[in-house]
Structure 1
Amino acid sequence: MKYKPALDGLRAVAVVLVIAFHTIANEFPGGFIGVDIFFVLSGYLITSNMLVEWDKTNRISIGKFYWRRALRLAPALLLLLSCYVVVAYFINNTNDHLVAAAITAIYAMNWARAFDIGSVGYMPHTWSLAVEQQFYFIWPLLLSALLFLTGRRVTPWCIALLVLFTIGWRLALIWNETSGERIYNGFDTRVDTILVGCCLAFVPASKMKWAPFLVWLALFAAMVFTLFGSYGRWVEIWGFTAIALASAVLVAGAANISDGQMSHALLSSRPLVWLGQISYGMYLWHFPILVGVADRLGLQGVTRLVFTLGATIVLATSSYLFVEVPFLKKRTLPVAPVPSPQPA
């Protein structure tokens, strides 16, 4: 898939929304939608790349896919967890932090939160990474099977059925008064958002005349919701679906805007593209910095946000340049300039 800098710009928007939500939630109560944007974007990019491989070779190399994912995701995460374990010796409740690091390392934080198992420490935000990693493990196998058995035209309809099944399962759990934590964090209750992005990957790419309008409309809606929206049971019932579809509109617009458009210039601007490229590290580091440093310093309000965002950018940049990029160069398939998937 051809590299599209506007998608990195969109990734930057998503990670800033999440950080703003975690830092000053009263001012940005709807910022949690940044995770949903990440989910849709991840599904879109991962599936698009696999479809390119399928169209060229009529197969998907499962081993190479797992290898690329490992090289992309593991080094930065291991760096964070190593620092976290070392720092745990100097803070209270060391065992709790070690348990949190272990849960994070095996990508099980979403289930730990869903069922209140173990300790989340300073790592509760890694629930979304766990959901994506569980998806990455299953998806290349399932997509290969669907393409082989049903063909390229029928596969997106099969994916759409999976989306509907997930929505139905979530509604059934809600009907049985399942807890909000279980609904929000479960892989089985959130995977439909990623699958919406997977469906989008089957839509032929084109320079749509109305793409700029889609981008501005979706960005405006995202900003309004970030400022005035809030999480409630309605989100679990139908909000996740609506947010996923709106995110898909935003991703589709960003993927198809033409050079010279103002929306393209905005999302492809160097600052946003750079933040998008380091967004994985930003997502990893921002919460430990927030609760482990900013809160211990007693920072509040905008000062809390500025400090957390600034320190996060510094650490994420270092992680990207000195850890992530060297490992990315070891991938057999070239990527330029490295767009980071997730999460997200």
Structure 2
Amino acid sequence: MPMNGTGTSRPARAPRLDSLTGLRFPAALLVFFFHASLGVPWIRLFQEDSANDALAKYASQAGALGVTFFFVLSGFVLTWSARDQDTMRAFWRRRFVKIYPNYVITWALALVTFAAVMTKPWQAVVNLLMLQVWVPDFATNFSVDPPSWSLGAEAVFYLSFPVLFLLIKKIAPARLKYWIAGVVAAVLLTPTLTYAVIENTGMQMPGADGTSTVQYWFAYVLPPVRLLDFALGILVARAVMAGRWRNIGMTWSALLLAVSYAVAMYVPHLYGQRSVTLIPIVLLIAAVASRDAEGKPTPFKNRFMIWLGEISFAFYLLHYIVLAYSRSLLGDQLFSTPVGIALIAGQIVATVLLSWALYAWVEAPITRRFSSSRKARAAKAARAGAAVPAGASPEAEGRTLETV
């Protein structure tokens, strides 16, 4: 079934969004700092409580911001790079080949290095199948490699994208603003609905007075709820491409995001996690994409930042493993603040290097070789009137925009 539907036609090749690729690494780094701030024994480095408390306070919303950024970005870039005459099967194949090999390798690595002693066998299996997000249990949601929960949600997004894309493509450009406003409102009201409908009983979220783990699961983890973020990315991409987006620019978007982050630290937990930073995230993604489309420079559009963006998916999956395993190698000793900061910097460097290896030796080769079928490559060669090298794929022609 073709995914192009009957909507407005698009250019044969949309402008590359290299700046958005580069921006992925700072988003992944935010998630790193959130996990580095956890005071659990298998992560904590600082001896002084004041240092731990400061890091925990200022990084408290970093993980949520990074995850929301990636969810909205996924919908945006998949829409931007959607191919006319693409099929559901071809799309799902590319997504599976891009995501699952890294996922399985880091799943196994997490079990070997730290997670086996704290993971029940059934949780490990559920996690391997990316089904951990459907269980209203905190330990299961964040079992094995804790950041991998978001890939369980992304799997649902990818399964839904062909249908969502066709439906959203039928919306008249002049009406996109109403749909965007409606989805934004739905996300902003998610915490209110959660607190009103789901009783605050049972296990409580650490450091979040008045929020249970079940409330957190419903508002923050459950894929149908987070599908709103993904759908918002699709709608905003359509608006930008149709010239129906009012761009406030990168500077104002970034300033608004910084202010909203500060506010998020002082509101009830679910509002900080889901609502406060959403609009600035959307504005920043659209502003950066608009500059790329216009061919204008950005701080993220250089070879180094693009490279970091390319390895950011591996970085996202590996960073918690590095945090936990390096902590175990250091024994029970806690460290002064300067030494702890140096160790965190070393953990970042180690994660970058391991991510580079995972990207270069696993992600990129597998994507090049298996992202399209042999039949599809032969058909493309016939259309082009030239032979296709063995293992060639759409990604071999340049970096794909279909990123996580």
Interval of TM-score (by shorter of Structure 1 and Structure 2): 0.7 to 0.9
Does 2:161 correspond to 1:139? yes
* Alpha carbons 2:173, 2:239 under 8 Å: kept: no
1:213-244 Cα shifts (integer Å, max 9, x gaps):
621222334445557742752x5348734422
User: Shift of the alpha carbon at 1:152?
Assistant: 5.1
1:236-293 Cα shifts (integer Å, max 9, x gaps):
34873442221111011111116785xx341112222111111100000001211232
Q: Report the equivalent of 1:172.
A: 193
Rounded to whole Å, the distance in 1 between the matches of 2:123 and 2:262 is: 31
C-alpha change, 1:102 and 1:303, in structure 2 (3 Å) is farther
Residue 202 of structure 1 aligns to a residue whose secondary structure is: helix
C-alpha change, 1:337 and 1:138, in structure 2 (3 Å) is closer
Equivalent of residue 394 in structure 2, options 325, 334, 337: 334
Rounded to whole Å, the distance in 2 between the matches of 1:224 and 1:159 is: 22
Q: Report the equivalent of 1:37.
A: 69
Does 2:191 correspond to 1:191? no
Please tell me the root mean square deviation across aligned C-alpha atoms, in Å: 3.3
User: Shift of the alpha carbon at 1:127?
Assistant: 1.9
25-34 vs 134-143, greater mean Cα deviation: 25-34
C-alpha change, 1:15 and 1:340, in structure 2 (3 Å) is farther
> Pairwise mapping of residues 232-311 of structure 1 onto structure 2 (< 5 A)?
232-233=267-268, 236-237=270-271, 240-257=274-291, 264-294=297-327, 297=330, 298=333, 301-311=340-350
User: Shift of the alpha carbon at 1:19?
Assistant: 1.0
Rounded to whole Å, the distance in 2 between the matches of 1:38 and 1:119 is: 18
* Alpha carbons 2:260, 2:276 under 8 Å: kept: no
Rounded to whole Å, the distance in 2 between the matches of 1:144 and 1:129 is: 23
Amino acid in structure 2 at the alignment position of 1:83: L
User: Shift of the alpha carbon at 1:92?
Assistant: 6.3
276-285 vs 197-206, greater mean Cα deviation: 197-206
C-alpha change, 1:240 and 1:116, in structure 2 (3 Å) is closer
The number of residue pairs the alignment matches comes to 326
Residue 239 of structure 2 aligns to a residue whose secondary structure is: coil
Rounded to whole Å, the distance in 2 between the matches of 1:229 and 1:305 is: 24
Amino acid in structure 1 at the alignment position of 2:62: G
Residue 277 of structure 2 aligns to a residue whose secondary structure is: helix
TM-score under structure 2 normalisation?
0.70
* Alpha carbons 2:142, 2:149 under 8 Å: kept: no
Rounded to whole Å, the distance in 2 between the matches of 1:185 and 1:307 is: 30
C-alpha change, 1:254 and 1:159, in structure 2 (3 Å) is closer
* Alpha carbons 2:253, 2:284 under 8 Å: kept: yes
Amino acid in structure 1 at the alignment position of 2:16: Y
* Alpha carbons 2:132, 2:140 under 8 Å: kept: no
Name stretches of at least 5 consecutive residues in structure 2 with no aligned partner: 1-13, 38-54, 200-211, 373-392
174-183 vs 240-249, greater mean Cα deviation: 174-183
Amino acid in structure 2 at the alignment position of 1:188: P
C-alpha change, 1:317 and 1:173, in structure 2 (3 Å) is same
User: Shift of the alpha carbon at 1:99?
Assistant: 4.4
Higher RCO (CA 8 Å, separation ≥ 6 residues): 1
Rounded to whole Å, the distance in 1 between the matches of 2:237 and 2:402 is: 17
1:176-225 Cα shifts (integer Å, max 9, x gaps):
244342222222333222222111111244999x96x6212223344455
Equivalent of residue 92 in structure 2, options 63, 66, 82: 66
Does 2:134 correspond to 1:111? yes
C-alpha change, 1:270 and 1:42, in structure 2 (3 Å) is same
Which protein is richer in helix relative to its size? Answer: 1
Name stretches of at least 5 consecutive residues in structure 1 with no aligned partner: none
Q: Report the equivalent of 1:93.
A: 117
User: Shift of the alpha carbon at 1:119?
Assistant: 7.4
C-alpha change, 1:240 and 1:169, in structure 2 (3 Å) is closer
* Alpha carbons 1:109, 1:124 under 8 Å: kept: no
* Alpha carbons 1:12, 1:272 under 8 Å: kept: yes
TM-score under structure 1 normalisation?
0.81
